[in-house]
């Protein structure tokens, strides 16, 4: 079915639901508002006034219903577009067969072969290859998990509708089911009744591992090996090179709800999913492998393994009698039974207790016998039935995904300071400068660990942080080192921030296999990052840790706070140079580097097409190693549909392979381009900070002309919106609400502000055009901004300006913003040579243009709701209804723009 027909079908079903569940009158109001909005976009002079009049006359209940209609419409349109993308992708694969489609794993390996990559170079690339996706629960997923499940069910029905051999009765049945699903969606409250708990977010992440990653990741392994067989016969890759990790339940930075007990429960939930998935797979294989021992005699190795398991549990003894000549079935049934016993283990209690304990089963107890079976059975059965399970065991183990631990440097320093006061080492560790802190830590790291019994004066907060280190030691002692990812130190400013973690880890006894990853976030910290690393590399205690980790160092760079600190252009250039400097420093000290990219969903937070971003990284900084966050709503948009998830993952793998090719490593960036970037970044930063940090009352302007305050009160995530409550500063408000609020009000300011001034400061437009044509980094920088500018709308933004209490100041500030917007737009079109934004992406350009008339009414309603809401006491009944409508507009605008924070 064509996309337009699918959207029309879903739109008609929604219209019927509105008439039936609300009233025909509500449907008529929604249609009048939609018509006025389309007329406004078409240039009708009086349409804007008509639209404002219609919205202004809505009662609170009518506003709620109309907002719900537009919000649900976008949920349905997004599903239709995703379904269409899957169909288009399948057609492309079919039409090009046997040739690979662009940006696939096969195409990447062919490119490497054609560009002269030798067998030895390819072997080295494969040895270095390590890609890890890190799921995070930052509060950018504005939709409830209950609604996500309904979205997925509608998607399944749309997928059925694309089948070409449906009978008429089957088509009608699907439409009937779609109508029922849309009705249940309409009748479900979009607003959460309470903030989601951390374990709710953990379960959401595990949902995607269960439904998508569990089957898609093994396919990537098979596809890479198939491509190697085709272009590099005889070359195999047996290591784990594509993995998952998570921050959900381990990200403590600014979130007091993530306690050590919550982390222990998170690990239990992870293990529970993995054990159940593997148990189901072994039970299925047991029924499948009913091979008679005379037809396929078992190897002696399997017989010995089986004998070691006697006496058998009662259930297995019964099967042994019944299927005595089917040893493969029995062996697999026994493994399934052992996993059943493992599922009953109270992991959380074992982790928070001090009682001795051993894990019931380790993953090698499964892979060893399965490997024996794999070597014994016919190749076809091994390839189609056993290999996927072997991959799943190797990828997910018995922990589903590694759990990273993240904590802010100031919290760690506070803990160290308090303990040192208790030990009477020093009274003012936190207030010491970085050099003095380094001196104190260096001395302590060379001394035996003290006995840290409870002593007078320790606060509950410090005890909680210390408990995390003790928990990590317990996890590694009982379940091994595979469960835990790196310890990430956010807001790292100095080597002492990292060594403080090492000190606590050493005292707790959890340094075995520990990776400590500094996170550099602000512009200054990015500039200092390589110097911080050199101090660490030359430090005796840290050098010992590195040797234990095979001289591998992970470094995380933050795209969000650097943007809020210096603006889009400056942040991206500082990030680029920081990566170059970090890579050079690691190379100097013979350290293997993995750069961990803290990207969000929006352009302002490092978002954009992942493959384009990877290929735009500095030469010689990836080298097969790539780690990136997948945050909030990005997870559902990329990984809800397994076919689209597969496409996204193969594009990532393809880009990492191509970016790591020997031919790209030594590519030099012309000095003139660097000089141009330096001058542009300086001008852009000046413009950005002049507005955001030097304009008096800018914070008040931001709070009044965006739904910032209302968003921070929404029950979106478990983490507070600011690092410390009660502090009214731009620097203290997190980057996510910073981006989210500007996106909602259609300014999209963080994704472009300052860029126009920066580009204008370059002067030489020919150089800029040359950079755009030949430098992937600069091209990606501008292409990503195009998308943001296309989604921005100064006309809609001006509606929000009318909410400001100081109208003169607000209009002056808006005039400054609009002037920069116009300059950015003009400079972009001049450099790209386009007549309009996104001209080179006509499909996306058309999608945005078609969506705008449906997003605009939600903005008009949101402005009206904000106006009314801000005049009412918080506890009033009317305010509660308006807040519910506010959530509907936030959801709808996010769905329409396909972006939150």
Which positions are annotated as active-site residues?
A: 138, 564
The residues near 547 (Cβ < 8 Å, ≥ 6 apart) are none
Helix axes 60-96, 842-869, angle to 10 degrees: 160
The pairing of beta strand 592-598 with beta strand 402-408: unpaired
Closest to 258 (Cα-Cα) out of 468, 466, 402, 399: 468
CB count in 10 Å sphere of residue 56: 12
Structure tokens at 506: 């050493």
Closest to 559 (Cα-Cα) out of 406, 741, 736: 736
**Cα 677 vs. chain centroid, distance in angstroms?**
29
Instruction: Return the residue matching tokens 């392979």.
Output: 657
Instruction: Return the residue matching tokens 């500018």.
Output: 789
Structure tokens at 880: 């509660």
The answer to whether 787 and 603 have CB atoms below 8 angstroms apart is yes
Structure tokens at 626: 């790539």
CA distances in angstroms from 545 to 268, 353, 505, listed in the order given: 28, 28, 11
d(CA 634, CA 373): 40
Instruction: Return the residue matching tokens 């205690």.
Output: 541
d(CA 537, CA 354): 35
d(CA 208, CA 845): 30
DSSP string, 335-350: HHHHHHHHHT--HHHH
d(CA 413, CA 463): 13
The residues near 209 (Cβ < 8 Å, ≥ 6 apart) are 135, 244, 273, 396, 400, 401
Structure tokens at 184: 């249940």
């Amino acid at each position: 079915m064509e996309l337009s027909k699918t959207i029309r079908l879903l739109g008609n079903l929604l219209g019927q639901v509105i008439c039936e569940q609300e009233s025909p009158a509500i449907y008529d109001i929604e249609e009048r508002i939609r018509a006025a909005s389309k007329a406004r976009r078409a240039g009708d002079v009086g349409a804007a006034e008509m639209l404002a009049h219609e919205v202004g006359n809505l009662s609170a209940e009518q506003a709620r219903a109309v907002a719900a209609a537009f919000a649900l419409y976008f949920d349905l349109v997004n599903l239709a577009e995703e379904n269409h993308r899957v169909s288009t992708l399948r057609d492309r694969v079919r039409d090009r067969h046997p040739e690979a489609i662009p940006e696939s794993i096969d195409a990447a390996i062919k490119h490497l072969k054609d560009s002269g990559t030798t067998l030895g170079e390819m072997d080295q690339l494969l040895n270095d290859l390590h890609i890890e996706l890190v799921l995070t629960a930052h509060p950018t997923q504005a939709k409830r998990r209950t609604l996500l499940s309904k979205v997925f069910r509608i998607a399944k029905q749309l997928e059925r509708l694309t089948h070409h051999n449906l009978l008429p009765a089957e088509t009608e049945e699907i439409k009937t089911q779609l109508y029922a699903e849309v009705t249940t969606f309409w009748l479900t409250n979009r607003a959460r009744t309470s903030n989601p708990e951390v374990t709710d977010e953990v379960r959401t992440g595990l949902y995607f591992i269960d439904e998508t990653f569990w089957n898609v990741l093994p396919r990537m392994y098979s596809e890479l090996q198939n491509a190697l067989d085709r272009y590099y016969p005889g070359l195999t890759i047996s290591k784990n090179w594509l993995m998952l990790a998570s921050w959900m339940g381990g990200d403590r930075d600014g979130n007091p709800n993530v306690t050590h007990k919550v982390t222990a429960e998170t690990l239990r939930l992870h293990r529970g999913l993995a054990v159940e998935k593997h148990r189901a797979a072994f039970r299925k294989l047991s029924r499948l492998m009913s091979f008679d021992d005379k037809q396929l005699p078992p190897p002696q190795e399997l017989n010995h393994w089986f004998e070691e398991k006697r006496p058998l549990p009662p259930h297995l003894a019964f099967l042994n009698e019944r299927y005595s000549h089917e040893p493969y079935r029995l062996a697999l049934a026994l493994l399934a039974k052992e996993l059943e016993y493992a599922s009953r283990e109270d992991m959380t209690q074992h982790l928070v207790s001090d009682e001795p304990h051993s894990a019931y089963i380790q993953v090698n107890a499964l892979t060893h016998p399965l490997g024996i079976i794999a070597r014994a059975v016919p190749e076809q059965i091994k390839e189609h039935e056993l290999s996927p399970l072997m991959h799943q065991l190797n990828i997910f183990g018995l922990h589903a995904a590694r759990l990273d631990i993240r904590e802010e440097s100031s919290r760690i320093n506070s803990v160290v300071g308090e303990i040192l006061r208790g030990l009477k080492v020093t009274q003012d560790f936190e207030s010491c400068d970085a050099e003095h802190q380094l001196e104190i830590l260096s001395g302590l790291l060379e001394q035996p660990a003290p006995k840290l019994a409870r002593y007078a004066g320790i606060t509950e907060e410090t005890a909680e942080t210390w408990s995390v280190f003790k928990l990590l030691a317990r996890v590694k002692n009982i379940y091994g080192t595979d469960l835990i990812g790196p310890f990430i130190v956010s807001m790292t400013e100095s080597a002492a921030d990292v060594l403080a973690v090492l000190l606590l880890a050493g005292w707790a006894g959890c340094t075995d296999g520990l990776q400590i990853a500094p996170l550099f976030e602000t512009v200054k910290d990015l500039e200092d990052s390589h110097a911080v690393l050199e101090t660490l590399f030359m430090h005796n205690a840290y050098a010992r840790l590195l040797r234990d980790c095979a001289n591998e160092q992970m470094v995380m760079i933050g795209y969000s706070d650097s943007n809020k600190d210096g603006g889009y252009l400056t942040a991206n250039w500082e990030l680029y140079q920081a990566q170059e400097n970090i890579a050079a420093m690691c190379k100097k000290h013979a350290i293997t580097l993995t750069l961990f990219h803290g990207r969000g969903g929006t352009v302002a937070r490092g978002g954009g097409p992942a493959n384009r971003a990877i290929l735009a990284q500095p030469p010689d900084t990836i080298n097969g190693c790539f780690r990136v966050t997948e945050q909030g709503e990005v997870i559902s948009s990329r990984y809800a549909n397994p076919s689209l998830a597969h496409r996204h993952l193969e594009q990532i793998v393809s880009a990492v392979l191509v970016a790591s090719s020997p031919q790209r490593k030594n590519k030099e960036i012309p000095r003139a381009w660097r000089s141009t970037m330096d001058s542009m970044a300086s001008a852009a930063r000046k413009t950005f900070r002049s507005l955001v940090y030097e304009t008096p009352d800018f914070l008040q302007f931001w709070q009044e002309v965006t739904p910032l305050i209302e968003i921070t009160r929404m029950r979106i995530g478990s983490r507070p919106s600011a690092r410390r409550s009660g502090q009214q500063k731009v620097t203290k408000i997190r980057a996510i609400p910073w981006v989210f609020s500007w996106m909602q009000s259609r300014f999209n300011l963080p994704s472009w502000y300052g860029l126009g001034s920066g580009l204008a400061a370059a002067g030489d437009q020919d150089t800029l055009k040359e950079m755009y044509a030949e430098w992937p980094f600069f091209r990606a920088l501008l292409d990503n901004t195009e998308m943001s500018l296309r989604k921005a709308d100064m006309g809609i933004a001006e509606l929000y300006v009318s909410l400001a209490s100081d109208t003169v100041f607000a209009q002056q500030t808006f005039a400054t913003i609009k002037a920069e917007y116009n300059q950015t737009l003009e400079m972009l079109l001049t450099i790209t040579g386009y007549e309009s934004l996104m001209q080179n992406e006509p499909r996306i350009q058309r999608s945005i243009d078609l969506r705008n008339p449906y997003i605009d009414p939600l903005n008009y309603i949101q402005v009206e709701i904000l106006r009314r809401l801000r005049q009412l006491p918080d506890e009033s009944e009317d305010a509660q209804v308006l807040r519910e409508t506010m959530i509907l507009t936030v959801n709808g605008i996010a769905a329409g723009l396909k972006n939150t924070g």
